[in-house]
């Protein structure tokens, strides 16, 4: 089953945010929010939190799975909403998010989206300006959070999409939160987007192989929703297969044309309708696609 819109996934897992920018709440005795989203989803989060039986003191952790602007822009809002929560991230994510240039880029991208949507009033009322993130605790591969009630969340280093990518696995729920370390569902839930190894393709492939070995019933992505049951069990294996087949397709295309730019442009035309993320400009999507194509072709 595919949940393409926010919903209660189980008595322990809630999919929050929006279709394209997803964050997830996992509850034991304590609760953890997985994913930092973008600031423009904060008004929706406000409505969702208001409808839930959730004490702000119950949320003990906010996890940044990686430092890209669409995965951390709402963290300052979430930290103000849940002041007792610790912000957790990998060491490299913490380093990146401390850089003034990165703070400016994240702030600009999030502010521009708010303005495009006409959310200036909400921006002021909720205090959504991105003013940086202080990571309270650095986490490493194999580290675990005891949430109580038999719920433990385990961190998995999953570099490749970015250098700082982390996934989270909850064994008692057979729930995986891979972030962008794996291809997420297409906007209609039928298949998966093209892989996005923006840092290193070999690492991306190895991370995906590792994630695909876990016993998964719930696969909760940070874009385009959650796959549950048979689809959840197959998601990471199919993502791995999609990645390998797509790389082979790119190699064939490049062998025919000998021009990476031409391969990337053709690919953009073929995939734009189903892969498009509304918070990314066409120009930025083209740039990201070119980076991923170059990484997969080893150039």
Residue 275: what pLDDT? 58
Rounded to 5 degrees, what angle do the CA atoms 10, 66, 250 make? 100
> Who has greater pLDDT, 125 or 70?
70
Question: Model confidence at 276, in pLDDT bands (50, 70, 90)?
Answer: low
pLDDT over threshold 90, residue 100 = yes
pLDDT tens sequence across 209-244? 999 999 999 999 999 999 999 999 999 999 999 999
- CATH class assigned to 2-241: alpha beta
The structure's pTM equals 0.94
Q: How many CA atoms lie within 13 A of 144 on its CB side?
A: 12
Say what angle helices 282-297 and 230-257 make with each other, to 10 degrees: 80
Residue 147, helix vs strand vs coil: strand
Average pLDDT, whole number, for the chain? Answer: 91
Residue 269: what pLDDT? 67
Q: 280-284, long-range: CB within 8 Å, 24+ apart, which pairs?
A: 280/70
Boundaries of every domain in the chain: 2-241, 247-297
**In the chain, % of residues over pLDDT 90:** 71
Residue 263: what pLDDT? 76
What is the per-residue burial (b if ≥16 Cβ within 10 Å, else e) of 218-229?
bbbbbbbbbbbe
> Who has greater pLDDT, 139 or 281?
139
What is the per-residue burial (b if ≥16 Cβ within 10 Å, else e) of 245-272?
ebbeebeebbeeeeebeebbeebbeeee
Residue 78: what pLDDT? 96
Q: Is the dihedral of CA 156, 157, 159, 163 positive or negative?
A: positive
């Amino acid at each position: 089953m595919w949940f393409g819109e926010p919903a209660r996934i189980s008595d322990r897992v809630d999919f929050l945010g929006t279709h394209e920018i997803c964050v997830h709440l996992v509850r034991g005795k304590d609760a953890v929010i997985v994913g930092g989203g973008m600031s423009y989803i904060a008004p929706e989060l406000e409505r969702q939190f208001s409808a839930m039986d959730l004490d702000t003191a119950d949320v003990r952790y906010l996890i940044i799975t990686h430092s890209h602007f669409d995965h951390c822009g709402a963290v300052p809002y979430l930290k103000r909403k849940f002041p007792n929560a610790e912000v957790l991230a990998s060491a490299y994510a913490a380093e990146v998010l401390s850089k003034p240039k990165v703070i400016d880029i994240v702030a600009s991208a999030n502010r521009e989206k708010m303005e495009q949507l006409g959310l200036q009033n909400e921006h002021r009322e909720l205090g959504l300006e991105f003013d940086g993130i202080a990571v309270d605790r650095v986490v490493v591969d194999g580290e675990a959070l005891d949430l109580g009630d038999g719920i433990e969340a385990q961190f998995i280093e999953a570099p490749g999409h970015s250098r700082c990518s982390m996934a989270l696995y909850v064994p008692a729920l057979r729930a995986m939160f891979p972030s962008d370390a794996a291809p997420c569902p297409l906007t209609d839930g039928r298949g998966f987007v093209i892989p996005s190894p923006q840092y290193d393709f070999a690492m991306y492939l190895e991370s995906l192989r590792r994630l695909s070995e876990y016993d998964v019933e719930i696969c909760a992505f940070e874009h385009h929703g959650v796959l549950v049951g048979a689809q959840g069990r197959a998601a990471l294996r199919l993502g791995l297969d999609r990645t390998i087949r797509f790389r082979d397709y790119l190699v064939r295309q490049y062998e025919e044309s000998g021009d990476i730019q031409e391969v990337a442009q053709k690919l953009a035309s073929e995939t734009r309708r189903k892969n498009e993320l509304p918070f990314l400009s066409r120009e930025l999507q083209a740039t990201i696609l070119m980076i991923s194509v170059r990484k997969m072709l080893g150039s």
